[in-house]
Amino acid sequence: MKKLDNRISIGFQALDELASVLRQPAVSQVFVLVDSNTVQHCYPLVKAYLPEHTLVEIPAGEEHKTLASCDSVWCRLTEKAADRFAVVVNLGGGVVTDLGGFCAATYKRGIRFVQVPTTLLAQVDASVGGKTGIDFLGFKNQIGVFQEPAGVFIDPRFLTTLDGRQLKSGYAEVVKHWLIADAEAFAFQRHAGVVVEDWTDIIRASVATKQHIVEADPLESGLRKVLNFGHTVGHALESYLLQQPGREILHGEAVAAGMVCEAWLSAQRGMLSAQELEQIEVFLFSVFEKVQFVTLETAVIAQLALQDKKNSGTTINCTLLDGIGKAVYDQPVPVAEITEALRYYHRL
């Protein structure tokens, strides 16, 4: 097991450690960012561990991961005269941890923030690695900065507040970590499935995998790009459906579809065997329902991949698999091949 950063606390003692950090004399004020879901289901679990604080609430949902929400957060910080010794506690899923981190990193040129992720997706991915950001003009995470949190406090008990769909959404990022870096874990878990009584060990291993990659490339100039497996097609699909009222899907659902598409692209290049592709497809479809779209939409969805942050000019750079457990980044893929991958997924 890779050693975790000492700023990351995972387990049932995590909230005690959060309390210790927030009560340090160097902390002038504490602001707790929640959304309309976490204020109801998660804030009551955390409140007893917090010193005197100001609650800041934003609406729940990816559609609110915008500059308008940032404006409301910055206004609240300003109204309360938050100084550079204030700390923002981001209590929520990926939207809250991404947006809250971005707001803190840009307020007065940067104040400290800590992540208290409450969804599996945020616990294994969004809260770890120092990426912050918001969506812009319909494109995922179009505006943001790299800024490490002062601490990440992961308590598996928050997962009991989730419905099955949200839990599975986070599981997609766990599977991604196996496919890019841990073939042994994938081989074991694809037979075990998603029924888990205690997520602590899975969270710890997944966070350690991501942290190990991020430490080698904190600003995503090279190796860290492997973490984007499934995300080039996945983000395009998610962005497209986010603009279609009533058809919105969760991030993990989009990533699961993206992993099938990008695994197929890997197989087309001879990097992944037919057997490995089948194993990936069978496992993902045993957990995730198929994302619905029509063939006529594939070309429009594929065009959105041109906005991906990993691209160089008009070249779409994908992360593909060179066998299960090994990823290679900066693989150029034409828009036409993204379209074909989506059509392949549609036919399955």
Summarize pLDDT for 24-33 with one digit per residue, the tens: 999 999 999 9
**Which one of the listed residues 220, 238, 337, 340 is annotated catalytic?**
220
- Residue 315: DSSP 8-state: B
- Distance spanning both ends of the chain, measured CA to CA: 36
Q: Is 224 a catalytic residue?
A: yes
Residue 205 tokens read as 């291993």
The domain ranges of the chain are 8-161, 164-195+217-347
Q: For residue 199, how far is the Cα from the chain centroid?
A: 17
Nearest to 138 by CA among 235, 262, 71: 235
Taking only the tens place, the pLDDT of each residue in 273-331 is 999 999 999 999 999 999 999 999 999 999 999 987 777 667 799 999 999 999 999 99
Mark whether 210 is an active-site residue.
yes
Active site annotation includes 231: yes
Choosing from 176, 235, 238, 340, the catalytic residue is: 235
Per residue in 286-296, pLDDT (tens digit) is 999 999 999 99
Range with lowest mean pLDDT among 155-164, 235-244, 262-271, 303-312:
303-312
Active-site entry in 224, 225, 317, 340: 224
For residue 43, give every residue at least 6 positions away whose Cβ sits within 8 Å of its Cβ, in sequence order, or none. 32, 34, 55, 91
Burial-class residue 225 by CB neighbours within 10 Å (0-12, 13-18, 19+).
buried
Residue range 138-152, pLDDT digits in tens: 888 899 999 999 999
CATH number of 8-161: 3.40.50.1970
Residue 184 to residue 108: CA distance in whole angstroms = 46
219 Cβ contact list (under 8 Å, min separation 6)? 146
Provide the pLDDT for residue 309: 72
Percent of the chain with pLDDT over 70: 97
Q: Which pLDDT tens digit goes with each residue over 54-107?
A: 999 999 999 999 999 999 999 999 999 999 999 999 999 999 999 999 999 999
Residue 92 sits at the vertex; the CA angle it makes with 91 and 93, to the nearest 5 degrees, is 150
What's the whole-number average pLDDT of the chain?
94
**3-class SS of residue 312:** strand
Architecture of the domain made up of 164-195+217-347? Up-down Bundle (1.20)
Q: Is 173 a catalytic residue?
A: yes
